[in-house]
Structure 1
Amino acid sequence: MTQPPVHYRPDVETIEPDEAEVQQELAETFRKIIETTHADTGQALRGVHAKSHALLQGQLDVLDELPPEFAQGAFAVPRAFEVLVRISTGSGDLLPDSVSILRGIAIKLVDVDGERLEGSEGARTQDFLLANGKAFPAPGPKKFLANLKLLAKTTDKAEGLKKAVSAVFRTVEKGVAALGSESPALEQMGGHPNTHPLGETFFTQAPIRYGDYIAKLGLFPRSPNFQALQGEEIDIAGRSDALREEIARTLAAEGGEWELRAQLCRDLENNPVEDASVAWPEEDNPYVPIAVLRVPAQESWTWNRARRLDDETSFNPWHGIEAHRPLGAVMRARKVAYAASVEMRGRLGGCPIHEPSTADLSA
């Protein structure tokens, strides 16, 4: 029998004595990456997920008649939210797509009611950040910092070598996948298969508060056209922006849908809050549908959209309401690191990063 969900309490989190020092070092590493790319490109790029492949507007429809434990927070009642969606890859460089690393999708809900998280006062948005792996590549902020330092050392270095290494790691990852497993570390270093982003499944990886409970979220292809792209490999030969081009090919002709699902924490030992590298077992605790994310046919990437969503907007799990407070050491580290990133991007770019009040990208 499925266990009842664990109720959220502040003491589900355990703060380590040296967390503040690690967080500050993370923030400095983000700044170093941004300084490096700004010196080379003149652009105030993100410290991670610098390259966007799709910049979309759409709608998130909360499902009717959700069970009480899933009708929580922004999903408490059926309603439609305007949303902004950004699909990207994880590097701080603007790398060609032949360097194939983990992908991410960021969703920003507009006009969300509820008590605001600290640092998010005055806004009415809710951000969810997801990546295409069930678990975060690091259990906590110390390993997160070590991984980020490696990225910082290789930012804007030896692009040709990165392409060659990525090709080798993709081959190794295929062997790992054939054994019924996956390697977040290999994928983070360039071993992610060159599959179509619209066919990918994405996860918050680290947990969030889910109203009275605790959850991880997952985004799954729902429309037949997105489902048909699952596992489809893209020909990247000679195409620096292959992912952007393939997404545009689909979305210029037709829209599509994802299904947003939630997996509730039901056992703090098997569903840990602090160790983000653990995928919560799904055998008797599956991801349950809570909403449908719809994007209409549209021009999925333009320079004007890039100016607005890449240069003037940030996506941050700490943009939101208390009912969806990010949880665990990795999420706490993100709060400090992302704030530092936003401050530096705004200063170097000459335009403060701000929260949009609408999801209309037509202007």
Structure 2
Amino acid sequence: MTISKLSASEQETITDAVLADNLKSQQEKGPDLRQVHPKSHALVWGEFIVENDIPAALKVGVFATVQTYPIWVRFSNAAQAEKRGKFASDKKPNAHGLAIKLMSVEGEKVLDDEDKTQDFILLNHPVFFLRDVKGYVDLAKVASGQADPELTQAMQPSFAILQEIASKKISNPLFIQYWSTTPYKLGSQAIKFSVKPQQIEAVPDSIPDADNYLREAAVKYLDQEGQDAFFDFLIQLYVDEEKTSIENPMQEWKEEDSPFMKVATIKIPSQKFDFDERKRLDEGLSFNPWHTLPEHEPIGSVNLARKKIYQELAKYRREQIEMRLREPQPFAFTEDDPR
């Protein structure tokens, strides 16, 4: 299985450039706020219940034994903050994310900043919009009008995927399917994974006229109506580079080539979550696909870039929070007014 056409030095140089751009944006739009998926629709607690009848070949890592892990689950909007303290309206089409943090996970982890967690990161689209980390730079060039016609043409597939993602109308983040988009290890195998809701609602003809209607929908379902939410955690196995490409995360792993297999159930009980203390916990948590057992290590150029970018952005964010608390500055220097 090939991983990336970028050399190690190219990967590192481009990753550093993308990180620098993200840190600059984070400084401008809120240094102690998230840069990646900043707008949260819900942070909820639940259970990750490993199935008892999965094939022996899939009993690896967190799926090795039948057990139930406590989890935090975060539903989010992928759009960056529009300006300092100002998030994009839910009425604007965008990609939506799902992040799962399993706790009480024993074993040595790839990163050492969390001892007993395992994170899974997903989007509400089956493929990623870039082939590798270089795509971030190329996409920015095209968007800013600095690209030559050849590069502009080469990036059209990425814009087509972004357009497809943006065209989706969703009524509730609890009612849509999410995909890993990029590949991961399952021991010696390569996989992609998906989270599919058991509760189903028809695609809405229109969306509510409210900037935060997705949070409101989740509050209504889990709190006001008192309903539980359930999801199937599914995996697909690598077949070959033609049908299930490792190198190109823009290529979908079609179900007819690699059927989904259920390995766990996610249960999110009815609960209250729309209160300040939960929101503070939400902002403090760090989700990173490299918070993982080696058996579930991410694969590919995009995931390799995430390792450094996600870790450094979280570190910077937490340092800013700590600094503001340790040594408060006059209001004129904090620049936290979203005007």
TM-score normalized by the length of structure 1: 0.78
Residue 109, structure 1, aligned to residue 102, structure 2? yes
Whole-angstrom CA distance in 1 between matches of 2:277 and 2:164 = 31
Aligned residue identity for 1:57: W
Cα deviation 1:302-348 (Å, max 9, x = unaligned): 221110122x1110001111011010000001111112211221122
Give the total of aligned pairs.
Answer: 301
Deviation at 1:236, TM superposition (A): 2.6
1:47 corresponds to which of 5, 29, 35: 35
Cα deviation 1:89-142 (Å, max 9, x = unaligned): 10121111111200000000001123311x336511000000000000111111
1:339 corresponds to which of 307, 311, 319: 311
Deviation at 1:187, TM superposition (A): 4.5
Distance 1:306 1:216, change over 3 A: same
Whole-angstrom CA distance in 2 between matches of 1:78 and 1:351 = 43
Aligned residue identity for 1:20: E
- Contact 2:192/2:236 (CA < 8 Å) preserved in 1? yes
2:92 is matched with 99
Deviation at 1:192, TM superposition (A): 3.3
Aligned residue identity for 1:13: I
1:20 is matched with 12
Distance 1:200 1:16, change over 3 A: same
Whole-angstrom CA distance in 2 between matches of 1:200 and 1:347 = 35
1:157 is matched with none
Distance 1:33 1:107, change over 3 A: same
2:177 is matched with 201
Distance 1:51 1:149, change over 3 A: farther
Whole-angstrom CA distance in 1 between matches of 2:35 and 2:263 = 31
Identity of aligned residues (%): 26
Aligned residue identity for 2:249: A
Cα deviation 1:126-181 (Å, max 9, x = unaligned): 00000000000111111134446789x8xxxxxxxxxxxxxxxxxxxxxxxxxxxx
SS at match of 1:54: strand
- Contact 2:243/2:257 (CA < 8 Å) preserved in 1? no
1:7 is matched with none
Distance 1:148 1:211, change over 3 A: farther
Deviation at 1:44, TM superposition (A): 1.6
1:300 is matched with 273
Aligned residue identity for 2:105: V
2:219 is matched with 248
- Contact 2:98/2:122 (CA < 8 Å) preserved in 1? yes
- Contact 1:215/1:263 (CA < 8 Å) preserved in 2? yes
Whole-angstrom CA distance in 2 between matches of 1:68 and 1:274 = 27
2:78 corresponds to which of 66, 74, 90: 90
Residue 37, structure 1, aligned to residue 9, structure 2? no
SS at match of 1:120: coil
After TM superposition, list the pairs within 5 Å mapping 1:58-69 onto structure 2: 58-69=46-57
RMSD: 2.2
Distance 1:121 1:55, change over 3 A: closer
2:297 is matched with 325
2:151 is matched with none
- Contact 2:4/2:247 (CA < 8 Å) preserved in 1? yes
2:250 corresponds to which of 274, 277, 286: 277
Whole-angstrom CA distance in 1 between matches of 2:141 and 2:196 = 31
2:163 is matched with 186
Whole-angstrom CA distance in 1 between matches of 2:114 and 2:249 = 30
